[in-house]
Structure 1
């Protein structure tokens, strides 16, 4: 029985070895338009597009060559456009699920705008108080050196100078905050205006 199995294994061995040794046949065209065939592609042609062909010379596989800078840029632009389309699709879907009417969008917009307007009003009131306090401290400091040119004037209290500088910094910081609140309010209005226009397009509203 073992002898028969051994003989059968020897019978199968040659085709298996032959199959393992069989290599692919490539076809490619060089820069001069000359067609080449070979089981290996020389290094100078490795970046060219090529085909794997069968025994009848029929292409069974396409192998892309190295892409040019123009092709790489075209792929990048195409991928970016596809991403933008997908983002727009998701935004449209969210818009349609979130709102049923234009009035709902406007109500949501007005609530968001009111939040920033409220922050602006609080900041404006705080700034008014800080500016009034700064004015009082500066008038007090004006009686002392170095804010007073009178050579007989006493030196200003360092704590008063510190308070003036801190108040100036606080005012500058809150002035920046106020500018940011107003900028964000404008951005919110513009964003919702875009949402309203897009919603009308999707709903077919004139």
Structure 2
């Protein structure tokens, strides 16, 4: 036999009012546009909500009613990118004037930076000479076996192969080091030209002294 539990009318009314309040609150919490905003804070934590904090405005992500992500990017004014470049150039100019007081100091800084690269380059060239000498010795040993009509040992073949490959790797490192040094020289040369422009107020193209 099943007994039916009868609740007082006051309790039933409270339950119905609670359900109605929850339904109203859920309806109010939905964004009017049907989109949920997504943003990432300074700690890299992703947040979701119907209202985007002001400090995260600009580029945000939203999720539409179908659960698909949407990207919303505020249109930058045409002058923003240009002003950013100018600001970066102004920063570099201030650094140049703060670090150096003459063209000679720029040349000295260039030489100091190149000194370590030069030491490394000389070390690579010494390694290459040693590798070349080893390859020559291995080839002589190989020729001795061939002259006596004997089979060249597999270990000798491997040593010769690895020694030859080592020379190729050293050549690549030498080329990369030289390229790095050329890039550094060019950077310091450009810094010196800009330094002269800032000091004299004359563009580098017009500040070149005529050849004697």
Matches within 5 A, 1:55-94: 78-94=79-95
Partner of 2:165: 169
Aligned length: 129
Q: Distance in 2 between matches of 1:80 and 1:98?
A: 27
Q: Distance in 2 between matches of 1:176 and 1:107?
A: 29
Q: TM-score, normalised by structure 1?
A: 0.56
- The 3 A distance-change label for structure 1 pair 79 and 134 is farther
* 1:75 Cα deviation from its structure 2 partner: 5.7
Q: Distance in 2 between matches of 1:76 and 1:128?
A: 59
> Based on CA coordinates, which of the two structures has the bigger radius of gyration?
1
Partner of 2:47: none
Q: Tell me the C-alpha RMSD between the 2 structures.
A: 2.4
Partner of 2:112: 111
* 1:164 Cα deviation from its structure 2 partner: 1.1
Matches within 5 A, 1:80-159: 80-144=81-145, 148=146, 153-159=149-155
Q: Distance in 2 between matches of 1:119 and 1:101?
A: 29
Partner of 1:27: none
**1:184 matched to 2:185:** no
Runs of at least 5 residues in structure 1 that lack an aligned partner in the other structure: 1-73
Q: Distance in 2 between matches of 1:84 and 1:136?
A: 58
* 1:126 Cα deviation from its structure 2 partner: 1.1
1:195 to 191, 199, 205: 191
Q: Distance in 1 between matches of 2:153 and 2:77?
A: 65
Runs of at least 5 residues in structure 2 that lack an aligned partner in the other structure: 1-74, 202-206, 208-212
Q: TM-score, normalised by structure 2?
A: 0.55
* 1:203 Cα deviation from its structure 2 partner: 1.0
* Stretches of 4+ aligned residues off by more than 3 angstroms: 74-80
Q: Distance in 2 between matches of 1:198 and 1:185?
A: 20
Q: SS of the residue aligned with 1:177?
A: helix
Q: SS of the residue aligned with 1:143?
A: helix
Q: SS of the residue aligned with 2:192?
A: helix
Q: Distance in 1 between matches of 2:130 and 2:81?
A: 51
